[in-house]
Amino acid sequence: MPQNNNIPLKCTAIGQFLYNNCSMLAEKTVEIQYSRQSELYSKYGEKGKKFSLQDCKYHIFYLGESICLCSKTLFLDYMQWVKVLMSNLGIHEKYLITNIEIIKEVISECASQGQITKEDISVVFEYLDAGLMAFKNEDTFSPSYIDKSTEYGELAGQYLDLLTEGQKKEASYLIFEILEEGASIKDIYLNIFQPSQYEVGRLWQTNKISVAKEHYITASTQNIMSQLYPRIMTQQKNGHTVIATCIGSELHELGIRMVADFFEMDGWDSYYLGANTPASSIIQMVKDTNAQLVIISATLSINVHKLKNLIEDLRRSKDLDDTKIMVGGHPFNIDPDLWEKVGADLSAPDAQQSMEVANELFE
């Protein structure tokens, strides 16, 4: 059973300090920043200050998450994401740089008050300085996830265009037309739904679509997947059972639902639990179904600690010693060692490879 032995206790301690004091640290940081850069108030007003406070809390929480997991990669990925987002919102990066520099000051003050040690400070500064280095690269270009030179690229672009224009019925017709022409459901999932969902996230990040539009497109794709579900059922079962869920209150459920469907198509009995399922209910479902595999997804790195806690709950449960745990999602794709740090048995970057890795293990 994988153990989380490669995360130093000091990382967990300082990460926990940042979690617990996130609001206090963010409030001090924003007050100092608005006193030094007085033009912020005239530009963005009280509403802007509230957004600044919210953003600062995210910076500190992501910082704490990354340190807790000893994954500088997660924090660098987050900082690059924020840089692109702010650039496309027309907010000059100097404000974000100043914000990070003041966070360092505020945390240094905590050390002078004995709340944390100098060793803790060195760890925090290492991560923050690495984050600041990300801003030396002036490129904020974010390429499309839809490659129209590929076999299904044009169709993926057409599908997303229809949903962006609010034409859900036409998008559904397009998918069923592709099916009638010989494409498999796996082809559609991997080559149309997956890149179009990645592209939706990029369009929101670059301020091309609203949150409401992002949610509409995702909900529409989920609805079309529901229409396809009767076609993925297979009479030939392999005797294996999988539970698929995403962590906590994450709303990014589409990816893990695709994974569950791939397993179903391959002959597994799959139980897709979605989001907001309590750990106790997940554990009970594993026992009730005698599932050999549990797959847990996290899209946001800010939620990886919750995923880690769920794995620990599963490991402590009686009668689940032989149950294997697979993890996936964006954080695990950018940090290839993260799955071991959270105590999982397996990880894979997409639905197809998840199924292949699992089948190889259980053969």
Superfamily for domain range 153-231: Methionine synthase domain (1.10.1240.10)
The set of long-range contacts for 103-106, using a CB threshold of 8 Å and a minimum separation of 24, is 103/25, 103/29, 103/56, 103/59, 103/60, 103/63, 103/128, 104/128, 105/32, 106/25, 106/28, 106/29, 106/32
Model confidence pLDDT, tens digit, residues 161-201: 999 999 999 999 999 999 999 999 999 999 999 999 999 99
Model confidence pLDDT, tens digit, residues 271-298: 999 888 899 999 999 999 999 999 999 9
Instruction: Give which of 62, 69, 79, 80 is closest to 19, Cα–Cα.
Output: 62
Above 50 in pLDDT, residue 28? Answer: yes
CA 255 – CA 247 distance, rounded (Å): 12
CA 242 – CA 254 distance, rounded (Å): 17
Model confidence pLDDT, tens digit, residues 66-89: 999 999 999 999 999 999 898 888
Above 50 in pLDDT, residue 2? Answer: no
Average pLDDT over residues 26-40: 95
CATH 1.10.490.20, applies to 9-136: yes
Structure tokens at 54: 């919210």
What ranges do the domains of the chain cover?
9-136, 153-231, 234-362
pTM, 2 dp:
0.90
How much is the pLDDT for 8?
60
Average pLDDT over residues 342-363: 94
CATH class of the 234-362 domain in this structure: alpha beta
How much is the pLDDT for 144?
93
> Half-sphere exposure of 65 toward its Cβ, with a 13 Å CA cutoff?
24
